[in-house]
Chain A
Amino acid sequence: MSEFLAMGGYGKYLWPAFALGFGIIVLIYVSAVSSLANAKQQARRRLETQS
């Protein structure tokens, strides 16, 4: 396992690269879902004030 994590001495570059890349993947998804939730909430509020 430690050999796998060391990645032939390149682990200190490889793992941060994957953490950054997949961290951004998660961030894009979370921000998209929260943007939709906000838009729904705003639309519902508007409909409530209209009715």
Chain B
Amino acid sequence: MNWTWFHRFGSPPWVYGFAARWAPWFGGAALLAMLIALYGGLVLAPPDYQQKDAFRIVYIHAPSATMSLAVYSTMAIAAAVGLIWRMKVAHAAAAACAPIGAWFTVATLGTGMLWGKPMWGAYWVWDPRLTSELVLLFLYLGYMGLRAGIEDSQKADKASAMLAIVGAVNVPIIKYSVNWWNSLHQPPSRLLGEADMVWSMVWPLLLMLLAFFLYFGAVLLIRLRAELLRRERNASWVREALS
């Protein structure tokens, strides 16, 4: 198998150019998919037989929650690649992921609280799913705090990468917390095959998930460009890229 395409991702100028070219396409596709999914979720999908119209919060809560985990996983993998292969672009990608993931986690917790109040009668309960998601927010904040606290960027990369990798243990804990422990939080819904919901409820959710992944791609590429410019400020390619 030819791996030359992978090696290109180790080159900061190539990644900078790639990100500049592709971010608008990811962003445009995300916006289009979000608008269609919103119309499907808020207008076309019927109310749930138990949760009535409150279930529609799923169209913002579930994609945010999925992204909070997916972004952390991406960050941990990028940090591991950076540590193992000493790849500067991977460390930059991990650093770019952190604020995005932290905000997705805030969105997950906030929208979850607004769903919890009408369903459980409380905005917050110390439930395994909610508590482990809160720990995820602290991990993101800890990662960013650690990076900001170490002036030497190579030391900051190494220390924060270790934290990201160790913290990845929380990802399966969040995912399976509803199966492992008694939880107020509902178990995951099956969306494909023998789905728990009718198709008119499912497709807007799948489309919104796709939209959030595309959106993450767009903002990650924008943040990655900023990270690369800061790290490579003395490199000759920066002059050419900015001219």
Contact = CB atoms under 8 A, between A and B. Distances in A.
Interface string B86-118: 000000000000011001101100110011011
Given A18-B60, A29-B219, A43 B242 contact: yes
B54 A14 contact: yes
Contacts of A42: 229-230, 233
B54 A24 contact: no
A6 B114 CA distance: 15
Contact of A32 (B106, B115, B223): B223
B73 interface: no
Contacts, number: 101
A3 to B, nearest CB: 10
A40 B229 contact: yes
Contacts of A47: 238-239, 242
Interface string B109-134: 01100110110000000000000000
A38 to B, nearest CB: 7
Q: Give the interface size bracket for B toward A.
A: 35 or more
Contacts of B238: 43, 47
B185 to A, nearest CB: 16
B60 A17 contact: yes
A7 B56 contact: yes
B177 interface: no
Interface string B43-76: 1000100001110110011001000000000000
B114 A36 contact: no
Contacts of B239: 47
A14 B57 contact: yes
Interface of B: 27, 43, 47, 52-54, 56-57, 60-61, 64, 99-100, 103-104, 106-107, 110-111, 114-115, 117-118, 215, 218-219, 222-223, 225-227, 229-230, 233, 238-239, 242
6 contacts: A7-B56, A8-B53, A35-B223, A40-B242, A42-B229, A43-B242
